[in-house]
Structure 1
Amino acid sequence: MKNRNIYLLTCLALAFSCSDSATDEFEEVNGDTEEKLIKSISVISMQDSYENQTISFSYNNEKKLNSVSNGEESSLFIYGDDNLTNVTGGGDQLNIEELYQSPYDAFETGQVQEYDNNGNPYKISFINKIYNEDTYEYENVDYTAEISYDDTPNPFFYTLKAAGIIDVLDGVELNFSLPQQAANIIKARTLLPLNNPSKITYKNELGNIVYDINVEYTYDEQEYPISATVTAISLEVNETGTYSVVYQYL
């Protein structure tokens, strides 16, 4: 799996303000949602046990997120004066593309082109590097990802809030010394889904579908996923991967 620091997902940097906070938008779309914190996510591959992983979340007594680990890499969350001040370590366990073995990183590097009626990123453009066998060089090619959502809350939202990440996206001023990442926090804010992604379709520069991820969830009474079946289809190499996912909460 791709090795990227988790703070690139959340773009922990300078404060960012907007007309509506991420929290306001989440509550407007999802109503009075019960706050649940993720304890673990287990992914079992139906075709290769090497792809199996369990992502564990640990919290302190105040239910602030302490760490996220997949058993090989860990991200540690450091707080000062009750605010998140740094994230150390490696891994990218909160990226849904990474979680479901996608070969792309649209949710990390992409630009939102369209939103759906609930304000979720629907169409994202991103650059995919493709090797040219004639020139022996990699070329940047424009790809797009189109995302569909279940009408249920993003199950990661309150876990991100417990990490202080939503406060960053809401514009709370923290003690980060990464001014070069100012543009990235804006990008992270625009890419934050309010609902639960259930389908991602990737298209190449010609508009042809090259990769498809479909997720069928089973939900509890609070509309949080407790299990899922993920089907990932690569049309370029005619391969299909199937994954079983189990969610546990505090």
Structure 2
Amino acid sequence: MKNKFLSALAVVSFFAFTSCSDDDSSDVLSGETKRYIESLEVTSNDDPTKNRSLHITYDNEGRVNTATDNTDAISFSYDGNNLSNITGGGEDVVMGNVMTTIYDGYEFGEVLIYDDAGNPISLRLFKRNDWDNSISASYIATVSYDSNINPYFATLEAAGIIEVLDNVDLNFSMTPDAEELVKAKLLLPVNNGTKVVIRDEDTNEVTSEVTVVYQYNSDNYPDSAVITEKDNNNFINTFSAVYTYKQ
């Protein structure tokens, strides 16, 4: 499915680095109300060029048909009820999720600690030198969550991606595509992330921080959110997010 599979996965990751470990992901929605994202509008309160949008359409059988961001679109194809291909758009389609901007320039290393729900609460990140690709610095990301389900999980299920990830073996030999799928499985959120703090591993200095405050509906899915980003110079960016769901 090429790497557009991962771009599609990122549609559903409001927090880029979270996980459901290696359990069967289909169990996550057991007993939960399923709401399917139709749109997400993220508006910067400081810089309009950072505004982002995500629009998702569904076919008559309730499967995800297309996902579109500010500039590109991808289409989903199925063989029966199984996802068979993802085509179109650029590699970064619907990657314009404002929560991922804090990770620009960082490379995911490993999950260090999981909480009892299987969410990682501590991760190691890296930065590399441009000239030789060697690691120049390492960072520790500490992640906090609330108790609500990841609001994108049902949408991923409707796209057939949950089933694909459930069939990924975390222990098989790493071809390039296999490595990306394993990473996708490890980073799939279960709960809704509310805060990330990134510290330099050597100095313990905070380099960046993101907090999210959600307003939930009666089904415990967010209708809106306020996102605050702060860098190591205490420069602050704020964003407003509005969610709509398939009726």
What is the TM-score of this pair, normalised by structure 2? 0.81
1:187-228 alpha-carbon deviations (Å, 9 max, x no partner): 222222210011111122322210000000000011000000
1:8 alignment counterpart:
6
Structural mapping, 1:227-242, within 5 Å = 227-235=224-232, 237-242=233-238
Q: 5+ residue gaps in structure 2?
A: 11-20
Asked if 1:22 corresponds to 2:20, the answer is: no
1:181 aligned onto 2:181: no
Gaps of at least 5 residues in structure 1 are 12-17
Cα shift at 1:80: 2.0
Q: Matched residues in 2 for 1:83 and 1:108: separation?
A: 31
Q: Which letter maps to 1:161? A: E
Secondary structure of the 2:118 match is: coil
Indicate how the Cα distance of structure 1 residues 19 and 180 shifts in structure 2: closer, same or farther if over 3 A, else same.
closer
Shift of 1:107: 9.7
Matching residue of 1:14:
none
- Structure-1 residue corresponding to 2:15: none
Task: Name the structure 2 match of 1:200.
Answer: 196
The one-letter amino acid paired with 2:25 is A
- Answer yes or no: is the 8 Å Cα contact 1:106–1:125 preserved in 2: no
CA-CA distance at 1:59 after TM superposition = 0.8
Contact 1:202 1:212 in 2 (8 A): yes
Displacement after TM superposition at 1:101 (Å): 5.2
> How many pairs does the alignment contain?
226
Under a length normalisation based on structure 1, what TM-score does the superposition of the two structures give? 0.80
Alignment check: 8 A CA contact 1:121 1:190 kept: no
Cα 1:94/1:38, change in 2 over 3 Å:
farther
Q: Which residue of the partner structure matches residue 40 of structure 2?
A: 41
CA contact (8 A) 2:168 2:182 kept: no
Residues 143, 196 of structure 2: 8 Å contact kept: yes
> What is the distance in 1 between the residues matched to 2:106 and 2:140?
11
| Alpha-carbon offset, residue 103 of structure 1 | 3.7
What aligned pairs does 1:141-152 form with structure 2 within 5 A after superposition?
141-152=137-148
The AA in structure 2 aligned to 1:213 is V
Q: Does 1:217 align with 2:214?
A: yes
List aligned pairs for 1:46-65, cutoff 5 A.
46-65=45-64
DSSP 3-state at the match of 1:71: coil
CA positional deviation for 1:159:
0.5
Residue by residue, what CA displacement relative to the aligned partner does 1:109-133 show, whole Å, maximum 9, x if unpaired?
Answer: 44211111211121121222356xx
Q: Comparing 220-229 with 140-149, which one deviates more in the overlay?
A: 140-149
Residue aligning to 2:69: 70
Q: What's the counterpart of residue 158 of structure 2?
A: 162
2-structure distance, mates of 1:117, 1:8: 26
Amino acid at match of 1:215: V
Offset of 1:71 from its aligned partner?
2.7
130 and 229 in structure 1: CA distance in 2 versus 1, 3 angstrom threshold: farther
CA RMSD of aligned residues (A): 2.9
Cα distance in 2 for residues equivalent to 1:216 and 1:20: 28
Q: Which runs of 4+ in 1 moved over 6 A?
A: none
In structure 2, the CA distance between the partners of 1:106 and 1:67, relative to structure 1 (3 Å rule), is: farther
Aligned residues: percent identity? 33
Contact 1:106 1:145 in 2 (8 A): no
User: Given the superposition, is the C-alpha separation of residues 94 and 23 from structure 1 closer, same or farther in structure 2, using an over 3 Å criterion?
Assistant: farther
Distance in 2 between residues matched to 1:102 and 1:172, nearest whole Å: 27
